[in-house]
Amino acid sequence: MAEQFVTYFRVSTEEQGDSGLGIEAQQEKVRSLVESRGGEVIDEFTEIESGRKSQRPVLAQALEAAREAKAVLVVAKLDRLARDAELVNRLSKEVASNGFLGLSFADLPDVDATNAAGRMILGVMAQVAQFEAERIGERTREALAAAKARGVKLGGRREEAVKAAQARKGEALERAEALRGLIAPFVEAGQSQRAIAAALNDAGHRTERGSLWNHKTIGRVIYRLCL
């Protein structure tokens, strides 16, 4: 029997999620890893959230799917799973005990989270990822402080961009709510995102842009509806 994988992809902003920016590269890395092991992907999950946040509903769904299927959870890069060392360490320990079959990263294909050496490597890499995230934040604050000291007016265009993003998010939520009655029964029945997409396409239902549904577009609707 082929090794089974549950894939998890993450982008940091709604704009990246809607455009697919960053997702394609992650998918290619994961696809190559799965093919190199002669495995098969049984479910896919995509989340739009910061890597520094530990509360991530889609990641929780991916972990649950991996546990139930006794599958390997595979991620393109360590920082796509998290930039939080504590979260990475907790997941590594769960793999080692009785959580799910494995935790693999396409950029670290030889690291095995089920043994002590692998967990040590992942712990160190997670600390580096967290350090980089924190350092970026520090540099941003330093740059803003320096600009303010020079008399640069801050906030104008950013405030407009924030308002525009909030408006787009509100519209996206409204569109998602209109689909709740259609998608919620599939989710409650335990159907995968791919299966839901196939069912909607077979029924002739199309996305807002007139395109076919896929696991990514279904995933975004499910995320917005908190299903």
Is 12 one of the catalytic residues?
Answer: yes
Task: Provide the 10 A C-beta neighbour count for residue 86.
Answer: 13
Instruction: Name the catalytic one among 12, 32, 192, 211.
Output: 12
Instruction: Say if residues 227 and 183 touch (Cβ distance below 8 Å).
Output: yes
Strand partners, 74: 7, 104
Strand duo 4-11 + 40-48: pairing: parallel
- Hey, what are 33's tokens? 């890893």
Task: Provide the 10 A C-beta neighbour count for residue 89.
Answer: 16
- In the numeric block, the tokens 């946040």 are attached to 53
Report the alpha-carbon distance of residue 188 to residue 180 in Å, rounded.
11
The SS3 of residue 213 is coil
Write out the catalytic residue numbers.
Answer: 12
